[in-house]
Structure 1
Amino acid sequence: MSKINTLIVDDEPLALKLLQAKLKKLPEIEIVGQASNGREAISAIMDLAPDLVFLDIQMPGLNGFDVVKNLQSDMSPLVVFTTAYEQYALDAFDIHAVDYILKPIDDERIKRAVHRAQQRLSKEKPSSKPSILGAINAIEHNSDRQDKNTNKVSQSLSDQQVDRKVVIKDRDEITILKQSDVEWIDAAGDYVCLHAKGKTHIKRITLKELLEELDTTLFKRVHRSTIVNLNFIQKVIPHTKGEFFLQLGEFEKIKVSRNYKDSIKHFLAGG
């Protein structure tokens, strides 16, 4: 099998250097880059398209979870979290088959994570995003009790489609997003990530179900699991083989596949 192109991400220089030294001992690993914060990580993943990312969770600004949330599902590499998280979070990772390495970093755990990545990559190049979103949901809901009255309110609000809102149940709170504020959406299995005003909201719903609620004059599908709000497109950047990127903001860059180019050709033509 060819080498696994690997990106390493950690905000602590010593931790980054240690992880790099340990991974260099493994002949199956090819380190293609490193990043010291979440923004750099997203940019490096977009530019380098690594097979595997060792990703620190606890980083200032965008943390490791935020990095995954802000990646298109179709372009998300395999992820191994490096973490000092408490036990309840690790239990959630195990349940959802998310790989992780506890700090201080252990050689045997690295070897196990790399072996698992090899096995998965030998079959296909899967996205880690659905399983990670499942773990995030479990972590965030771990200490919360479901309130029946809240659930009834949530259901009632969900039925109100006339205002073109998206209703999100977040622990014991309900968030109501205006569709016009949602910049882009990407799906991972039974979850969607809605990106609006610098925040990423996770909603348990399939993309097909959500599409029935969205304003089709605003939202267009640009990839198998990605939708953009046309009003937020600032730039169109050519890529290879008829594909291109849409620049939505200072950091948000969305890849448009050839299969969905026609879906926004009217917009690109300036119509």
Structure 2
Amino acid sequence: MSRLRTLIVDDEPLALKLLRAKLDKVDNIEIVGESKNGREAIAATLELAPDIIFLDIQMPGLNGFDVVKGLQSDILPLIVFTTAYEQYALDAFDVHAVDYILKPIDDERICRAVQRAQKRLDAVDGQDNKPRILGAIDSMSQRIYPQQLENKRLPGALSTDTFMDKKVVIKDRDEITILKQSEIEWVDAAGDYVCLHAEGKTHIKRSTLKELLTELDENIFKRVHRSTIVNLNFIDKVIPHTKGEFFLLLGEFEKIKVSRNYKDAIKDFLLGE
């Protein structure tokens, strides 16, 4: 059995030290990196390609949920949350088969989480991890914010159909956000959800990628991976990767992997045509 390449993430140095000490005792774990915040975690995931991330939820800046939402579904490792979250959140994660360890961390929960992760990898369903997590987050939101949104609309706002060709409407808890398409940098699909990344924030919309594509301007939004599309106007740099793949840099922090199967989709853009 191969060892699980593992990244551990926590903003507290003592928590990182404790987690490393406990994971060092697990035979099939190989710790390949540590991160102290969400941005470091995203960068380390892209660089190290771990099999599993032990990820703290409560961190300043980008929290654990933001890290998950900020990574492409196709390259997202298995996630084990380390958290002091309330019981309702843990119930939601259990329903959606998302692993977690309740702080203070103990050896039994570590072993359980590793065993569940190994089983999921053996079943070759790790790629379904992000939809599960987004589903859990959505369930938590519904429990915390039970308001019904069907009849809600921003004061003076036009209908969704009116904005179909220029804007994207997102219902989130008890708010409605209207995003300009020109502000959307990239979109990541995860099952029945899409993550729209705009101006440093990630918005979750209950929609399939196919449905969303009917709203987006096909001249500036191009698919670059199985479940990822980018706004060509935000590409700042192209970095070659392996086997015909490469990364797109969008601004200072966003790094999007382009698979060789989709590189022709932006070939004209890269050639300046």
Q: What TM-score do you get using the length of structure 1 for normalisation?
A: 0.96
Partner of 2:225: 223
Name the residue aligned to 1:6.
Answer: 6
Within 2, Cα distance between the matches of 1:146 and 1:103?
33
- Indicate yes or no: 2:98 matched with 1:98: yes
Whole-angstrom CA distance in 2 between matches of 1:251 and 1:11: 19
The residue correspondences of 1:49-64 to structure 2 (distance < 5 A) are 49-64=49-64
Q: Which runs of structure 1 show a deviation greater than 6 angstroms over 4 or more consecutive aligned residues?
A: none
Contact kept in structure 1, 2:165 and 2:217, CA below 8 Å: no
8 Å Cα contact 2:164/2:215 also seen in 1: no
- On the 8 A contact 1:7/1:31 being kept in 2, the answer is yes
Q: CA deviation at 1:34?
A: 0.7
Cα distance, 1:88 vs structure 2: 1.4
Q: How far off is 1:42 after superposition?
A: 0.3
Structure 1 residue 92, shift from structure 2 partner: 1.2
What SS does the corresponding residue of 1:150 show, helix, strand or coil? coil
Q: CA deviation at 1:163?
A: 4.5
Please name the residue that 2:65 is paired with.
65
Structure 2: state its 5+ residue gaps.
none
Contact 1:51/1:125 (8 A) holds in 2: no
Match of 2:44 in 1: 44
Gaps of 5+ in 1: none
Residue 267 of structure 2 corresponds to residue 265 of structure 1: yes
Q: Distance in 1 between matches of 2:26 and 2:269?
A: 48
Alignment deviations for residues 17-46 of structure 1 (CA, whole Å, 9 cap, x no partner):
000000010111011111110011000000
Deviations 1:230-260 (A, max 9, x none): 0000000011111100000111000000000
Displacement of 1:146 = 0.9
Distance of 1:118 and 1:89 partners within structure 2:
23
1:83-121 deviations in Å (ceiling 9; x for gaps): 001111111111111110000001101101100111111
Q: Distance between the aligned counterparts of 1:257 and 1:200, measured in 2?
A: 22
Instruction: State the AA in 1 paired with 2:38.
Output: G
1:204-236 CA-partner distances (Å, limit 9, x unpaired): 000011011110011000000000000000000
8 Å CA contact 1:157, 1:167 repeated in 2: no
Aligned to 2:242: 240
- Return the alpha-carbon distance in structure 2 between the equivalents of residues 267 and 120 of structure 1: 39
1:107-122 map, 5 Å: 107-122=107-122
With over 3 angstroms needed to count, the CA separation of the structure-2 counterparts of 1:48 and 1:157, relative to structure 1, is: same
Question: What code does the residue aligned with 1:181 have?
Answer: E
Equivalent residue for 1:205, pick from 179, 204, 207: 207
Paired residue secondary structure (1:160): helix
Q: Distance in 2 between matches of 1:243 and 1:44?
A: 18
Q: Does 1:169 align with 2:171?
A: yes
- C-alpha distance in structure 1 between counterparts of 2:150 and 2:183, whole Å: 29
CA distance in 2, matches of 1:2, 1:180: 45
CA distance in 1, matches of 2:123, 2:86: 32
Alpha-carbon distance in structure 1 between the residues aligned to 2:122 and 2:138: 29
3-state SS of 1:234 partner = strand
Q: Deviations over 1:139-160 (max 9, x none)?
A: 222132214421799xx73222
Distance 1:197 1:129 in 2: 22
**Residues 202 and 170 of structure 1: is their aligned pair in 2 closer, same or farther, counting only changes over 3 Å?**
same
Q: Could you say which residue in structure 1 is the equivalent of 2:161?
A: 159
Contact 1:5–1:52 under 8 Å retained in 2:
yes
CA distance in 2, matches of 1:41, 1:245: 17
The alignment's C-alpha RMSD in Å is 1.6
Could you tell me whether the CA contact under 8 Å between 1:195 and 1:201 is conserved in 2?
Answer: yes
Aligned length: 270
Which amino acid is the alignment partner of residue 261 of structure 1? K
In structure 1, what residue type is equivalent to 2:239? I
Describe the shift of the 1:101–1:49 C-alpha distance in structure 2 as closer, same or farther (beyond 3 A): same
Which SS does the other structure have where 2:217 is aligned? coil
Q: How does 1:121-132 map to 2 (within 5 A)?
A: 121-124=121-124, 126-127=126-127, 128-132=129-133
